[in-house]
Chains A and B, each alone.
Chain A
Amino acid sequence: MRLVFRHTLGNIAQRKLSFMVSALIIGFGIFLCLAVATFLFNFHQLFEQTLKHPSGIAFLSVDSAEKVQKVASQMMDLPSVQKIDFLSPKQAASYLAGAGVPAALLEDPDLSMPWMVMVYGGFDQVAAQKETFRKVSSIEGVDEVVYLGDDVMRLKNMFNIGAFAAALAAILVSVLTLFVVSAFVRLSISSRLPEIEIMRLVGATEKLIVTPFLLEGLLLGMLGSAVGFLLLRLCQSFAVTHFAQAELLPLEFLLPSFAAVLCLAVGSAYGSFRSH
């Protein structure tokens, strides 16, 4: 085994520049793939959060506290509605001003501010949210309902598009890894053909001959993964400092991804050796 390691390291040392360039190319590909996946992961978390805590606002047409109470009890009877908050016309005006509604509109004497009800629900499906707010709008005394249903659907569509892009990126990275490792190993084999022949002639087993190439592929995959991960961490710290909080991909995702890259690298090295 020591002979195999000595050969592998010796071969890499002979071609260290092409080894480093190959590892950087693989690493950059992995980084791009992981960056897309990280973005999607954070996006998905926010999306899930939005679905679990959606807020819809019901504007009421009633004006007495008694009638408001009646509407409220009907809303609370609806499945999925977990909590409601009442805002009196004065509180409603203050809330809407805080939400960016122009003051001129809020102070218009022709428009009287209605009672508002903030509805919170434990929805995990866009369809359930839509259905609940349809029922809220049909309650007598509810004038208008505003909720995020369609926007959530748009977000979901964007997430699906992103997931498709991530899948494409993963395929591209796989092809890139296969290509780069294969090119490196083929180069390595070409420059060592006399040595391989001599190894065979002095009694080297097939395992002894092929293992250094597999190790080269493995090391290339490992270094590429490390470069990709490092770039991802750097970008994440940059994003956290300059833009917004972003969570790193969980290990349950990262480890299988790196394992897949290593398998691809070793498989590619073996394939290149066999086909050469």
Chain B
Amino acid sequence: MIQYAIRRLLLAVPTLLGVSMLVFGILRMLPGDPATALAGVHATQEVVERIRAEHGLDKPIHLQYLGFMKDLFRGNLGKSIRTALPVTTEVVSRLIPTLELTAVSMVLAVLLGVIVGVISAAKPYTVFDYGSMLGALVGLSAPVFWLGLMLMLLFSLQLGWLPAAGRGDFRHLILPSVTLAASSVALIARFTRSTMLEVLRSEYIATARAKGLRESRVILRHALSNAMIPILTIIGLRFGALLSGAVLTENVFAWPGVGRLVVDSISARDYPVVQGAVLMIAVSFVFINLVVDLLYGVVNPRIRYD
């Protein structure tokens, strides 16, 4: 297993190289460039060209790429065109709030999702089952901006319990992470329920039941551990999606996260920042997917690594 993990980590290098090439190329395929975006409506051509020259955007693309790679190997992600800050500083400072938010909302989503899913599967086609399904689907269909605003209106404006937006102490984290968790709860609950149902129908569980084990024991010990793989997969996917896809939540709650940074930087065609941010997000994905794959082996020892 350790050997496998090491091999995977070594393979991260070509993966990240691939990401960097792809992002580098695609960014330059986009219409518009940092100079036109930065200079804005009022700019003259003269200014646009000066900005291009200042940032070496007037050089041939292969030279730009070589320069980028050279810096990259020295661990230098370059400087933001828009803010002139080092990309590393900028991305890291925005990745931290995102990690906070993602972690809290994942804990919420996994706890709630797995519990609801398991109960639904244990008592299928009951009021609880359908009630939770309905709740899950509403959570999934409600756009983040709507849900977020509703929570704000209730808990901040009406009840005055929580700050409406912004980053600060722990209380600031509650509303955005609940909002962010909503769609994940739905996904995790539905997945848990469905795989649990599947497992509960298998001969293996029938045997366990026949042996006279208590139902709760059957469900928790035997069924859940067997249903863990799809659940783990979904958790891994959600974790990743939250990392890069929390833009809307970050917008609604004025959360200074990396999702907003990426979107703002794409809009500004701030090439170095987008490159750097995507690269760092990619690193997190490599880790998340590795952890998920390793956990597969933990929950089901029959799965081999090769």
* A, B co-complexed: no
